[in-house]
A and B are shown apart, each in its own frame.
Chain A
Amino acid sequence: MSQSLRDVIQQAEKIILGKPRQIRLALTCLLARGHLLIEDMPGVGKTTLAHVLSHTLGLQFQRIQFTSDLLPADILGVSVYQRDSGKFEFHPGPIFAQMILADEINRATPKAQSALLEAMEEQQVTIEGKTRALPSPFFVIATQNPAHQVGTFPLPESQLDRFLMRIQMGYPDAQAERGLLSGVDRREIVAQLSPQMESSELLALQKRVREVFVSPALLDYVQAILRQTRESARYTHGLSPRAGLALLSAARAWALLDERDAVLPEDVQAVLPGVVSHRLQAVGEYSKQNSDVLVRELVEAVAIP
């Protein structure tokens, strides 16, 4: 792993106290060229995480606050008539940035949501008949409040599938919270952060992720997991092949972060909750269980070949 990547992690850990795992998962998602969905209560540091990552990685950053009256044009941009030139001129929306923080995505209407989600999928947007490429790397961190809160439009399953991972921040532990409470204002520190990486370096890392070796034995394991979700009576439906691909690329990125050139079953297990918890739906009695428990049961049900 490059020194710069290590620095990124170090810096992030200094600000987001007690959440090294979430930081690593977020980075994994970024390296695997996926998008990240963070789901938790307001005020547990979702936005801060996005801020920290964009600053330390040296990415252009845009924040879109999703509200119920947000329109697609507010995200994508709009053409405005210029009186002096007599022409329409396109004013790009906030989507034209390397890192987007889509805050509280489930507060917006499905129409606005889908404008973002399509951009995520295609890495380009089509406005007024003209296709415009989005910058590269392009990374979306969406945050969402738990679905049962009032005034939300929960993302449908097909949209959830666009996110490589979904993670939860969780409350910090006592020691971390103490540090948080006694320390300096987070916003000040974030403002002082210096970029640790060029975007070209990030692209090179993303390329390296794809070169991480996957052995037949590991593919057996991944397939066994997929099979288990399809054969078990616990889930409404099994994981799709796309979920399998997502699992593999996330595991590759995790292995790279762990400074290894081959994927181990441990890597798969590490990214499994993030990758599958929003894609698996439990049946009947199991649906009341925490999704973490469900994924843990899945891990325990599959022997490593």
Chain B
Amino acid sequence: MSKHLTYGLLLSILMVIAPHAEHLPLWVSSLCLGLLLWRAYLAYSGGHDTLLAKRADCGNGRPVSPPAPEGSAPPCRSDDPLPKRWLLMLITFAGIGGIAVNFRTLFGREVGVTLLMLLAALKLMELRKPRDAMALIYLACFIIITNFFYSQSIPTALYMLAALMVIVTTWVHLQAQNIALKPRLRIAAVLLLQALPLTLILFILFPRVQGPLWGLPQDAYASSGLDDKMSPGSLSRLSLSDAVAFRVSYNGKPPPRNQMYWRGPVLWEFDGRTWTPGRTALTVAPQFTDLGQQTDYIVTLEPHNKTWLFALEMPDKLSVQATLTYDFQLMRKEPVNARLRYAARSNLGYRANLQEATRQLQRGLQIPGQFNPRAQQLAAEWRANSANDDAVVRTALSYFNQQGFQYTLEPPLLGVHSVDDFLFGSKQGFCEYYASSFVFLMRAANVPARVVTGYLGGEFNDVGNYYIVRQSDAHAWAEVWLKNQGWVRVDPTGAIAPARLESGLSAAISNTSALPFMARNPPQWMRDLRLNWDALANQWNQWVLGYDTERQFAFLTRLGMESVTWQKLALNMASGLGVVIALFALFMLRHLIKRQPDKVQAAWLKLCRKLAKAGLPRAAHEGALDYAARIAAVRPELADAFHDLATRYSALRYGADRDEQARHEFLLRAGALKI
């Protein structure tokens, strides 16, 4: 029996540490696995059931058998198959030393988790008494929490629930060794189900504290996303990722697809290969005029560890704190390292910065002169042949359109003169190639221009009625400053592959095999499955992971709680928990609750209390007639009346007769008796 308990504990520990194997150092994972296997082998080979034997023989419980005769060695010491203490100490210190060397520290979350794994595996090696098993069970529960540092998805939660089920089953086993597996599972399931209402109350009402207490450290999130640097290939690489960047639900009709430009970092400076935002001391507020086509929407942004937010061009209102920079980026003070939900309003029709500072326009003209001479020459020709800036832009777009450029995810490598190589050599590129060379050409032709990166479009999820914007939707385009028009968006990609704007990446690329799965066109059922799953994940994000103070307050207000404060929350939580626990207790102890005594019995008990006050208490086990006989001996004056009452009471309580008249008579007489 106890062998199975050991297996249960092994399985519990294995289940909770297995997901960690992914990010633990390989040698720690192997060591833990080795220890687990060793312990399993010991349990398998040792016929002697260690745990139970300790309990019975080492005086840890009520002795069942008579104590062993003097002289025979106590069985708990002699044939203990577990490794000796010094060996465990050695492994422990070696392990801790190894971890210290590996991480160069013994502090921090990563190291803490690693140490915890190692110690949990080692604790299994000294599993002797029920107390050790208990410690392991608590440890396993704690390790469950550490798993959520790394993933908080629905599958993880379900897996952890399964692990919890195994742990609780093992725990039930520990408490009652003689219960079979099936009823044990049932008890565990009932326990977990009983915990459900408590969990719900705690989840809904537990005051959420915003800030560092609950915020997870930065490295909690893999940060693959849009960067504020752009070089040839950086966006096409990003396009290979299926990961969700953010989800959007529109209030009202969504704008057309080719208007869904989600503005991200704006890049000003070019070093011949890489575009960067550059530096400026300018803090001028942007000016928008001639606004139109208002659109309201809600964005749920996945954490990307960067300070910028995404909004449709051009944002007007925002529900969270952020600044709109001079080049129309939304910036937060802190990096977004937790899922962020914000409502925003954008005007798709706009004129931006009709008046622009000269310094900005100067910045928008700078190019590294030593690179790309052919491109500079081409731009100079255009300049000479064009009446105004507008004409230069049009010339450039028709150039892209007519010179046989290809839109591809796998462009050939470019040399030092990246723009020249692209324009006159390979003529194959992804959006960043076009944006980059277009802006370069504009600047060379003396038209102020800059690169804007962000996302374009998204996939509509008709299950949840929202758009999913993935990393594969990453895009780069250009902005030029024209007199009387301000900054105008120009998307050179549209000149080569208009389908990219209208219907997305897969329509624009001829060879889709390199694309991430979801950006291709998967079969309909698979698409439906994925969309359903994503809708579910979205709900999970919105309501479980994203349930912060704000949502909590909104939710509770909708439930009818007025002016939510945290004292109120605590109070409600305490009373809610109290009520649930009291209900369970009542349910479980219902057989202990005494039935309400009926009138006759109540009158009799009252009579007994009266007599008790007079110094003649009835013993709990004393029958009415015996009591009457005892009273008669001490208080002869009461003898007749009381004996009469006792007889009547006995007859009423134990007799077959349910005569109302007799009951009434008894009640009258009992009330009338003077003591």
B621:A215 contact, CB within 8 angstroms: no
Please provide the 9 A-B residue pairs with the shortest distance between their CB atoms, ordered closest to farther: A303-B620, A266-B623, A213-B656, A262-B655, A265-B623, A215-B654, A262-B654, A264-B650, A266-B625
Q: List 24 A-B contacts (CB under 8 A).
A: A213-B654, A213-B655, A213-B656, A215-B655, A217-B653, A217-B654, A261-B656, A262-B650, A262-B655, A263-B654, A264-B623, A264-B624, A264-B650, A264-B654, A265-B623, A265-B624, A266-B623, A266-B624, A266-B626, A266-B650, A269-B621, A269-B626, A303-B621, A304-B623
Query: Digit string of B636-665 for contact with A (CB within 8 Å is 1, else 0)?
Result: 000000000000001101111000000000
How far, in Å, is A58 (CB) from chain B's closest CB?
32
B271 at interface (Cβ–Cβ under 8 A)? no
Chain A residues within 8 Å of B559, by CB: none
- A64 interfacial by beta-carbon distance below 8 Å: no
The answer to whether A304 touches B622, judged by C-beta atoms less than 8 angstroms apart, is: yes
In whole angstroms, what is the CA distance A265 to B653 when docked? 10
Q: Which residues in window 612-626 of B have CB below 8 A to A?
A: 619-626
A interface with B by C-beta (< 8 Å) = 213, 215, 217-218, 261-266, 269, 299-304
Residues of A within 8 A of B621 (CB): 269, 299-304
Q: Is the beta-carbon distance between A264 and B625 smaller than 8 angstroms? A: yes
Q: Are B656 and A262 in contact (CB under 8 A)?
A: yes
B residues engaging A (CB < 8 A)?
A: 619-626, 650-651, 653-656
Min CB gap A264→B, angstroms: 5
Chain B residue at minimum C-beta to C-beta distance from A255: B654
The tally of CB-CB contacts under 8 A between chains A and B is 45
The distance from the CB of A153 to the nearest CB of chain B, in whole angstroms, is 27
The closest CB in chain B to the CB of A300 belongs to B621
Q: Among B619, B623, B656, point to the contact of A300 (Cβ < 8 A).
A: B619
Chain B residues within an 8 Å CB radius of A261: 655-656
Q: Which residues of B contact A218 (CB under 8 A)?
A: 654
Considering the chains assembled together, what is the distance between the CA atoms of A304 and B604 in angstroms? 13
Chain A residues with Cβ below 8 Å from B656 are 213, 215, 261-262
Nearest Cβ on chain A to B106's Cβ, whole angstroms: 52
Question: Hey, which chain A residues are within 8 Å of B653, CB to CB?
Answer: 215, 217
Min distance, Cβ A225 to any Cβ of chain B, angstroms: 10
Chain B residue at smallest Cβ distance from A269: B623
Q: How far is the CB of B39 from chain A (nearest CB, A)?
A: 38
**Most chain A CB inside 10 Å of its own CB: which residue of B625, B653, B654, B655:** B654
Query: Whose C-beta in chain A lies nearest to the C-beta of B649?
Result: A264
* Interchain CA distance A304-B623 in the complex, whole Å: 7
| Residue of A263, A266, A269, A303 contacting most chain B CB atoms (<10 Å) | A266
A233 nearest CB neighbor, chain B only: B62
Closest B residue to A302 by CB, please name it: B621
Residues of chain A lying within 8 A (CB to CB) of residue B655: 213, 215, 261-262
Interface centre among A217, A262, A269 (most CB of B within 10 A): A262
Return chain A residues, CB-CB under 8 Å to B619: 300
Q: Which residues of A contact B650 (CB under 8 A)?
A: 262, 264, 266
Most A C-beta atoms less than 10 A away, residue of B620, B621, B626, B655: B621
Smallest Cβ-Cβ distance to A303: which chain B residue: B620
Residues of the B chain whose Cβ atoms lie less than 8 Å from the Cβ of A264:
623-625, 650, 654
Assuming A261-B655, A266-B623, what are 16 further A-B pairs, CB within 8 angstroms? A215-B656, A217-B654, A218-B654, A262-B651, A262-B654, A262-B655, A264-B625, A265-B623, A265-B654, A266-B624, A266-B625, A269-B626, A299-B621, A301-B621, A303-B620, A304-B622
B626's closest neighbor in chain A, by CB?
A: A266
Shortest B434–chain A CB gap in Å is: 87
Query: A213 contacts which chain B residues (CB < 8 A)?
Result: 654-656
**Complexed CA–CA distance, A269 and B622 (Å):** 9
A217–B622 alpha-carbon span in the complex (Å): 15
C-alpha spacing A263/B444, complex, angstroms: 115
Which residue on A lies nearest to B656, using beta carbons?
A213
A137 to chain B, nearest CB (A): 26
Residue of B nearest to A301 (CB): B621
What is the minimal beta-carbon distance from B634 to any residue of chain A, in angstroms?
A: 19
**Is B620 a contact partner of A304 (Cβ separation < 8 A)?**
yes
> B624 — which chain A residues lie within 8 A by C-beta?
264-266
**CB neighbours of A302 from chain B (8 A):** 621
Residue of B nearest to A215 (CB): B654
Determine how close the nearest CB of chain B comes to the CB of A5; give it in whole angstroms. 21
Distance in Å: Cβ of A268 to nearest Cβ of chain B: 9
Q: Which residues of A contact B654 (CB under 8 A)?
A: 213, 215, 217-218, 262-265
Task: Report the minimum CB–CB distance from A213 to chain B (whole Å).
Answer: 4
Chain A residues within an 8 Å CB radius of B651: 262
CA distance A71 to B623 in the complex (A): 48
Q: CA A303 – CA B651 in complex, angstroms?
A: 19
Give min CB distance, A240 to chain B, whole Å. Answer: 22
